[in-house]
Structure 1
Amino acid sequence: MKKATMLTMWQWKSLFIPLLSLLIPVNIVAQNVTNRNGDTSVSNKKETRAISGQVLDYITHRRMPGVTVELLRTDSTIIKTRKTGGFSQSGDKITYFSYWNFDVAGNGTYLIRFTYDGYQTQYLKFKAVFGRREYTINAPDVYLKREEVRQLKEVVVTATKVKFYNKGDTLVYNADAFQLSEGSMLDALIRQMPGAELKSDGRIYVNGKFVESLLMNGKDFFKGNNQIMLDNLPTYMVNNVKVYEKQSKTSEFLGHDVDKKSLVMDVNLKKQYSISWMGNMELGSGLQNRYLARLFAMRFTDHSHFSAYSSINNLNDTRKPGENDTWKPSDLIGGLVSTKMGGIDYSIENRNQKLKVDGNVQIKHSDTDNLSNTNQENFLTGGNTFDRIKNSTRNYRTEIKTTHDIEITTKRMMLTLTPSLEYQKYDNRNEYLSGTFNADPISFGKNLLDSIYAPQMNAKLLQIAINRNMQHNKTTGHTLNTGLEAESVFNIPHSSDHWELETNLSYKDAAEDIFQQNRVDYLNKSNVTTDFRNQYTKNRPQHGWDFSGKALYAYTVKKGLTLNLYYKYQQNNYQGRDRSLYRLDRLAGWDDETTHKFGMLPSEAELISTLDSGNSYDATQHDMTHTLGWQLWMNKYTSNYFYWVQIDMPLNLLRQKMNYRQAKSDSLFTRHSTLLNLNNTFLQIQSKDKRTTFFTSYYIETETPDMTYLVNVRNDSNPLQLFLGNPHLKNTYHYKWYAVYYKSNPERQRIFRIQGACNMTSNAMVMGYTYDKSTGIRTIKPSNVNGNWDGYIRLKYETALDKKKLFTLTTSTSESYYHNVDLISIENSTDNKRSTVGTSYLSESLKFSYKLNSGIQFGVKADGTWTQASSKRDDFSTINAGDFNYGLTALISLPQKWQLSTDLTMYSRRGYDDSSMNTNDLVWNARLSKSLWNGKFLFMLDGFDILGNLSNITRSLTAQGRVEQYTNVMPRYAMLHLVYRLNIVPKKKK
């Protein structure tokens, strides 16, 4: 089978119209720009050149931001002055960069002076000779020596503590301005920072933009594993938290911007903790068999760090009473989870920063016990059906992850080698009961499933019952991913151009053994027909290796304009995608009355005789991709605004080849696709004082269907879900637009943000199905549909209400809409199969806090979401439901170093079909703590869900139906904690 994929005229319009909108603002401002000195110049003037360098401490070789750098005439009069920081000179990259930069006329000898308080003044005489297209020359590094120590008189300064302010291009949060409970870690501080959002998985957003790295003192200690620092760094050690846009490693090496900067959050420690050993240990024991133990230790200097951590607990939730006022019961992890985890993280670099080695190893084991009850309504023409499901699972999982980086930097080259390995082993058990009905069985109460499996079923229940299903499942398996990645950058002498070379080799392996006993009873009102299957599946979904190589040449057209041309080759080889299904029930003694232990296998000869060849297959797949792409990077600086534009347009030529072997089919498939994407394309406009920012991005992503879906075969291994292939599947196109406008006023502690997004999908692949109302059997077939889209708009406003900034108001309003299209039809029906449902969510969050003094803080909160779902289908009833909560929070310092933190919240639900779900749950949490021995020891007593009202109900809605699910949650408990803090600071040399 051969297939060519072409772009339609509509898709070409979707590609170029947003590009035109991105370029229009740049064309407007390009007529009149200013250089880094603030001098206005017409765009056709001769391009200026620049000299740049960095300043380091003579002893430690640590980068020194804030150094005064002056360009002098021969008579020592000052021409220009700078402060070391980011190369863009748009501000101070505090503690991370120490670069300086001057625009100069061209070739010549330049005299530069460096001064910094506490250091000796130093001069640099530098001769610059520029190549024809060389716009920036790096001067030698300058090392400053300290002056002799002088004792100064002590000066006491009293100032009002503000929560945040702008310093250059850096947003600075003052940690001392936030009132936190004793024992708080970094996560509690970030949750309180205006404009910052902390997700449950550790992802951080600031003013609507994703924070790509969480740093400590300018160093990326934990390589994207934010949760380690969030859970283990005490807030009392934090001086401030800085958010800024950081140059990429490539830009830093080359000395000028060649690609997009990434947003980072830099946690700066107080001076006394910046070079030290630090550690903390926590032990906790509570009612309901709750327990916790945690150990964290770290040593760090200017050029190295080492950390080790371990934890063990059976607490699903990491909330602290009074801390997270945006939490909802739906955020609670379902089931009962116990976790054991440990790891190390290290980094070391030499003094001249030419060699750096860092890495991490983490081992984690989890045990999850989950019990859920689900009410499901399936939208069908001519009358909906209803499912009641009880699902009990027990999952065991062990993970090992390790990643290491070796970075070597010379004058002309930067090389990074990254070996990695990830291994998972799992053992999952599952007990499943369900019943399907042609009318809503809500009147039969909560014990409905017990009734449907009773020896004598209720006659009225039998009239509406379609089927009942009982399953016993066991899955054991593993996954392995390992690889080596190499990246290198070469600068070209006497030019601002450079080469980038990348290569990646990886190996993947996955295997699992699946045991299932599946009994389906078809209830047709007069008698019961049973289908029992005792199955064993040997599944090897992935086994093979991947290779990729990329070459990029960056051509500097002029200062502030770079064109990147690149070619990439990628090859994926999957040696085996094997699935062998064995019907053990075909053997004597292995039927529904078997006495064999579940998970046991017969002899090899007997096993082979039970092979279900119609539902088994073997496949080998080879994918080969050639990518040709160009990327345009532009930046402009005016007297009031900075502009950044990036366009990245790769053309992918994809060839996929699969050999699919099955009893009923032995086919060789070849598929060719031409994929034109739009990646990393954005426009950003920012005011010079960084108080106003506008950012918009547009993406086009193309997704090819899984090759196994293209095989025209029938899989009936699951009696209630038959699967058909579809050789006519098309590629799916995703169009994604995002925009955010942000404005801040640090003097008034005020932030305003409006953001929105719209996502459209063309040829969306859906698992449409045909439903047999008499049996409840679904015949599923992947298909393409159009019309799926979603979007949202969100406004957030936060401000202090008084001059002393004791009263703070935060409000957030959002409206989102989801237009879901699916394919559903009824067996032997000619009705339209297209099912469309539109769902809107209107949300409001309101918070008010009052800081009485340094030891007392109160808060009032209210949060709610109203859901409305509608459809043009005649048999669809509009859905209206609301989830809302309101409550109080308090943090009170008591005499004798006691502290109380507490929250009391009423969680309410309205509009659920099951009246038992329309509830009011009052949840109260509290913590009482006491600090001893100068803060080295901390005792805490926690009470969670003191009133015992917590429940976890979630609701979801799609074009196929709606689902209401109740999951077991951790019972209320009380826990006593003991925390020990250790800080060893080196003694100063006399």
Structure 2
Amino acid sequence: MNGKKVDYLMLNGKDFFKGNNRIMLDNLPYYTVDKLQFFNKRSERSQLVGKDIERPDFVMNVKLKQEYSIGYMGNVEAGAGTHERWMGRGFALRFTDNSRLSLYGNVNNINEQRRPGGDGSWGQSDNPEGDTDTYNVGGELFIDDKQERYKEVLNASLMWNRSRNEQRTASQQFIQQGDAFGYSDSESTKRGFALNVKNHLTLKRIGLISESKFDYTDYDDDVLARSVQFSKQQNEGVEQIMDSIFSTNQSSEMLKYMVNNVQDATNGNGHKWTVEQKFDYHKALPWGDDLMLTAKGLWNGTKDDGNSHYQLKYADEETPDDFQERLTKGKSNSYNLNFGVNYAIHFLTDWHLNFSFAHNQYHSDEDNKLYRLDWDENYRPEEMLPSVTDYLHLLDADNSPHSVNTQREEHITASLHRHNYDSNRGRYFSFTTALNACYSWQDGVYTRGKNTARPSDYRWLFRPSVDFEYQTRKWHDTYSIHYDTDMRPLNLSQVADLTDTSNPLAVQMGNPDLSPSTVHNFSFLFSSRFGTHGQFVMLRSSASIMDNLVAVNSIYNENTGAYTYMPVNVNGNWSSRTSLDLRRDLTADRNLNVESSTSYGYLHSVDMKDNERSTVVQHIIGQNLKLEYKHRLFTLALMGGISWNGMRQADIDDINNVDFNYGANVQVDLPLKIRLSSDIKMYSRRGYADRSLCTDDLLWNAQISRPFCRGRLLVATKAFDILHQISSTHTTFNSQGRIETWQLSLPSYFMLSVQLKFNKNPEKK
């Protein structure tokens, strides 16, 4: 709200699917809502000790009309459309002043959350990958005892999904002896299942909080991936290149510059489970101080099996092609135990002094076996997989790693903070400075065949931080500053002096000479609402400086196209980002307003290539504008945006990508209670190496709806991508190179849906 992020939503002053706001927004009938309230709410820990010991949450409370505060409520919706699109969902809620039982279900194959008449955005977050069928059910039980003895919240959900995806990429790797250009495509079918259960119990009178979680997921994936590498950039698109290389009529011009090509068909399946239990005990002592005890345990296990039909062909006639039939068996188990004590001294001047000690212990055991079925002269790929006894002698021991890792940490933390919350004057002040000193023990045993590495790391890690936040003028102005230093322990798997050659084109080596990294983070925020025209301004800035960052040194073999990778320490990496958001009403009646968002990002990236330092400077500039007019019968908005992504590196041609868009959306109330919602936006891309990605896509969505039965029945016709123009592309840069990616998008479709809302409330006495 007004640039301030809402932490979570509440219903009638109580938590409601905390962390999943979409459930309330999608299912609560508008006619039951009395008003929306925005305010700062004491955290649960602060409530238990009766004073503000940490930052309050900023929440939105949906207050229901009195007649809907007790009873039943729900809705069901079903829809069918062209191109075999379908959806259905249901929601039911039984509630009183102190309890709530909610159930929901959702089935669909449209896998997206946009609504016609919105801003028309179509980014990666708006367009999940591929074409997905989803089946999802869940529920929540909420009880808040009338006598204030306890609060119980139980959540559970089940989800099944099946997705089909296609992806094409074009990449450029910056190499001193001449860049390498890669092109790839893939087709995949993925099936998954997930079970999530969470229980939150608060015993208010004794100050005990218990959180229990159980998560289980499994998967079954089939992927066909193809790739080709050239010493010269190709002018054709990825689709044309792949069709030419992997066909009988290969282009002689392409073959002249080809280095290698790979075709890999894989199947993988497995599961993962996680159990977590946490206890927090808070005790307000008679003399005014507080004691907090914490205990947390987390256990998880995984099992992964797979098989792969791998074919690698080299253009270099002196290098033999590589054909592999792989069978993989992997499993892992780990636990993480944490115990802590915190003592807080409270002064009369709103200052608080905290001392804490925590012990953390982590242990993992991971085993991955690779079997080379092609080593058996009698094996035939078209036959069924062999039995266990038949492939045990085909173990590739050098590429079958087994690791055992144990880590212990002792944390000593001292912090000084002040929290002052004045609801009458609309002020909030918070200042915290803390120093965490951690002594870290790490011991590992890593084995590959006859080679064993026993890396260890023992060191002190210091992590100071400072936080300041000040709100004033009835919450109109906000100032916020943050700084922290994060000293990171070594990753022992990178330190182990072992080599992984399971992928002939990507050999991985360890580096026992690695040093730990340190990251310094800084952020600043200022926001203000002022004047009588709804004026709002927000300035945000952040920066990160990375010392001894662990990068990857890549050595390229120009004859085979293979890379050898080794982690190394580099200095000189830092990044920053600044943004300015503005809003203002242009008319006295506030019907016309304008919004602007400007951002600039800078990335100074240092890496290693062929044992030499490589530096890339990246600039990202963005600008978005929106003009909106609200009338009694309609709302109209015009919008546009541009993003320029430029990269500079010595001895490399500058790279400049420009994405820009412009469009409009409208919502109109027509006669006969008909409502029309529509958005249209042009997306344009320029500067991509793959010419097929330089496109102009005009996206148009629309919806016509009409309510019946006093708003309880809604009939709607929705049309997505009316002009059949959706495409999903994005690009990434770093000091090693750039990657441009195209991904399968949901096809256009029309859908007719019917939604029924219902409620039942007790009769007035």
Same fold (TM over 0.5): yes
- Provide the C-alpha distance between the structure 1 equivalents of 2:657 and 2:456, rounded to a whole number of angstroms: 49
CA offset at residue 276 of structure 1? 2.9
Match for 1:841 among 581, 606, 620?
620
Mapping 1:704-853, distance limit 5 Å: 704-745=489-530, 747-825=532-610, 833-853=612-632
Match of 1:674 in 2: 460
Match for 1:264 among 59, 63, 85?
59
Question: CA 1:370 to 1:637, structure 2 compared with 1: closer, same or farther past 3 Å?
Answer: closer
Q: For the Cα contact (< 8 Å) 1:349–1:355, is it kept in 2? A: yes
Mapping 1:505-524, distance limit 5 Å: 505-524=297-316
- Provide the C-alpha distance between the structure 2 equivalents of 1:235 and 1:288, rounded to a whole number of angstroms: 32
Q: For the Cα contact (< 8 Å) 2:266–2:306, is it kept in 1? A: yes
Letter in 2 for 1:838: V
Match for 2:235 among 428, 435, 442?
442
CA offset at residue 521 of structure 1? 0.3
- Provide the C-alpha distance between the structure 2 equivalents of 1:402 and 1:420, rounded to a whole number of angstroms: 6
Question: CA 1:456 to 1:949, structure 2 compared with 1: closer, same or farther past 3 Å?
Answer: closer
Question: CA 1:729 to 1:268, structure 2 compared with 1: closer, same or farther past 3 Å?
Answer: farther
Match of 1:121 in 2: none
Match for 2:329 among 538, 545, 561?
538
Question: CA 1:603 to 1:985, structure 2 compared with 1: closer, same or farther past 3 Å?
Answer: closer
Letter in 2 for 1:557: F
Match of 2:347 in 1: 557
Q: For the Cα contact (< 8 Å) 1:642–1:688, is it kept in 2? A: no
- Provide the C-alpha distance between the structure 2 equivalents of 1:345 and 1:646, rounded to a whole number of angstroms: 36
Match of 1:984 in 2: 760
Question: CA 1:870 to 1:241, structure 2 compared with 1: closer, same or farther past 3 Å?
Answer: farther
For residue 735 of structure 2, give the secondary structure of its aligned residue in structure 1.
coil
- Provide the C-alpha distance between the structure 2 equivalents of 1:401 and 1:704, rounded to a whole number of angstroms: 31
Match of 1:579 in 2: 368
Mapping 1:917-956, distance limit 5 Å: 917-956=693-732
Question: CA 1:383 to 1:962, structure 2 compared with 1: closer, same or farther past 3 Å?
Answer: same
Match of 2:225 in 1: 432
CA offset at residue 456 of structure 1? 5.2
CA offset at residue 236 of structure 1? 4.2
Cα distance per residue 1:707-750 (max 9 Å; x no partner): 22211111101111111011122212221111111111374222
CA offset at residue 445 of structure 1? 7.3
For residue 608 of structure 1, give the secondary structure of its aligned residue in structure 2.
helix
Mapping 1:133-282, distance limit 5 Å: 195=2, 206-207=3-4, 209=5, 211-282=6-77
Cα distance per residue 1:644-703 (max 9 Å; x no partner): 101222111111112223323234333212111135x31012214211110111122232
For residue 949 of structure 1, give the secondary structure of its aligned residue in structure 2.
coil
Q: For the Cα contact (< 8 Å) 1:329–1:951, is it kept in 2? A: no
Bigger Rg, structure 1 or 2? 1
Letter in 2 for 1:489: H
For residue 566 of structure 2, give the secondary structure of its aligned residue in structure 1.
strand
Question: CA 1:970 to 1:578, structure 2 compared with 1: closer, same or farther past 3 Å?
Answer: same
Decide which moves more: 878-887 or 741-750: 741-750
Pairing 1:421–2:421 present: no
Pairing 1:665–2:451 present: yes
- Provide the C-alpha distance between the structure 1 equivalents of 2:75 and 2:428, rounded to a whole number of angstroms: 44
Q: For the Cα contact (< 8 Å) 2:29–2:757, is it kept in 1? A: no
Q: For the Cα contact (< 8 Å) 1:221–1:346, is it kept in 2? A: no
CA offset at residue 446 of structure 1? 3.9
Letter in 2 for 1:594: P
Letter in 2 for 1:847: K
Question: CA 1:698 to 1:234, structure 2 compared with 1: closer, same or farther past 3 Å?
Answer: farther
Match for 2:402 among 575, 597, 618?
618
More strand as a share of residues: 2
CA offset at residue 326 of structure 1? 4.3
Q: For the Cα contact (< 8 Å) 2:237–2:691, is it kept in 1? A: no
Question: CA 1:748 to 1:326, structure 2 compared with 1: closer, same or farther past 3 Å?
Answer: farther
Match for 2:415 among 617, 624, 631?
631
Would you say how many aligned residue pairs link Structure 1 and Structure 2?
763
CA offset at residue 325 of structure 1? 4.4
Cα distance per residue 1:381-429 (max 9 Å; x no partner): 121111110111111111100010121122xx31111221001111111
Q: For the Cα contact (< 8 Å) 1:260–1:646, is it kept in 2? A: no
Decide which moves more: 562-571 or 737-746: 737-746
TM-score (norm 1): 0.75
Match of 1:655 in 2: 441
Letter in 1 for 2:743: T
* Identity fraction in percent: 27
- Provide the C-alpha distance between the structure 2 equivalents of 1:272 and 1:912, rounded to a whole number of angstroms: 58
5+ unaligned residues in a row in structure 1: which ranges?
A: 1-193, 196-205, 826-831
For residue 719 of structure 1, give the secondary structure of its aligned residue in structure 2.
coil
- Provide the C-alpha distance between the structure 2 equivalents of 1:640 and 1:903, rounded to a whole number of angstroms: 39
5+ unaligned residues in a row in structure 2: which ranges?
A: none
Letter in 2 for 1:770: I
Letter in 2 for 1:677: R
- Provide the C-alpha distance between the structure 1 equivalents of 2:727 and 2:335, rounded to a whole number of angstroms: 46
Q: For the Cα contact (< 8 Å) 2:168–2:238, is it kept in 1? A: no
Question: CA 1:534 to 1:500, structure 2 compared with 1: closer, same or farther past 3 Å?
Answer: same
- Provide the C-alpha distance between the structure 2 equivalents of 1:334 and 1:507, rounded to a whole number of angstroms: 31
Pairing 1:959–2:735 present: yes
Q: For the Cα contact (< 8 Å) 2:53–2:419, is it kept in 1? A: no
For residue 253 of structure 2, give the secondary structure of its aligned residue in structure 1.
helix
Question: CA 1:357 to 1:338, structure 2 compared with 1: closer, same or farther past 3 Å?
Answer: same
- Provide the C-alpha distance between the structure 1 equivalents of 2:81 and 2:330, rounded to a whole number of angstroms: 42
- Provide the C-alpha distance between the structure 2 equivalents of 1:246 and 1:254, rounded to a whole number of angstroms: 14
Q: For the Cα contact (< 8 Å) 1:811–1:844, is it kept in 2? A: yes
Question: CA 1:668 to 1:956, structure 2 compared with 1: closer, same or farther past 3 Å?
Answer: closer
Letter in 2 for 1:723: Q
Cα distance per residue 1:103-135 (max 9 Å; x no partner): xxxxxxxxxxxxxxxxxxxxxxxxxxxxxxxxx
- Provide the C-alpha distance between the structure 2 equivalents of 1:977 and 1:444, rounded to a whole number of angstroms: 39
Match of 1:87 in 2: none
For residue 878 of structure 1, give the secondary structure of its aligned residue in structure 2.
strand
CA offset at residue 478 of structure 1? 0.8
Cα distance per residue 1:417-460 (max 9 Å; x no partner): 12210011111111011100000112487421122123353322
- Provide the C-alpha distance between the structure 2 equivalents of 1:533 and 1:570, rounded to a whole number of angstroms: 43
Letter in 2 for 1:811: S
- Provide the C-alpha distance between the structure 2 equivalents of 1:646 and 1:367, rounded to a whole number of angstroms: 47
Mapping 1:448-463, distance limit 5 Å: 448-455=241-248, 457-463=250-256
Q: For the Cα contact (< 8 Å) 1:330–1:953, is it kept in 2? A: no
Q: CA RMSD in A?
A: 1.9
CA offset at residue 265 of structure 1? 2.9
CA offset at residue 924 of structure 1? 1.0
- Provide the C-alpha distance between the structure 1 equivalents of 2:541 and 2:400, rounded to a whole number of angstroms: 47
For residue 461 of structure 1, give the secondary structure of its aligned residue in structure 2.
helix
Cα distance per residue 1:746-772 (max 9 Å; x no partner): 742221111111112112122321111
Cα distance per residue 1:163-198 (max 9 Å; x no partner): xxxxxxxxxxxxxxxxxxxxxxxxxxxxxxx63xxx
Match for 1:885 among 661, 670, 673?
661
- Provide the C-alpha distance between the structure 2 equivalents of 1:667 and 1:527, rounded to a whole number of angstroms: 35
CA offset at residue 535 of structure 1? 0.9
- Provide the C-alpha distance between the structure 1 equivalents of 2:681 and 2:449, rounded to a whole number of angstroms: 60
Question: CA 1:329 to 1:472, structure 2 compared with 1: closer, same or farther past 3 Å?
Answer: closer
Question: CA 1:329 to 1:734, structure 2 compared with 1: closer, same or farther past 3 Å?
Answer: closer
CA offset at residue 498 of structure 1? 1.0
Pairing 1:864–2:656 present: no
CA offset at residue 230 of structure 1? 3.4
Match of 1:348 in 2: 143
Match of 2:320 in 1: 529
For residue 558 of structure 1, give the secondary structure of its aligned residue in structure 2.
coil
- Provide the C-alpha distance between the structure 1 equivalents of 2:682 and 2:356, rounded to a whole number of angstroms: 57
- Provide the C-alpha distance between the structure 1 equivalents of 2:70 and 2:670, rounded to a whole number of angstroms: 33
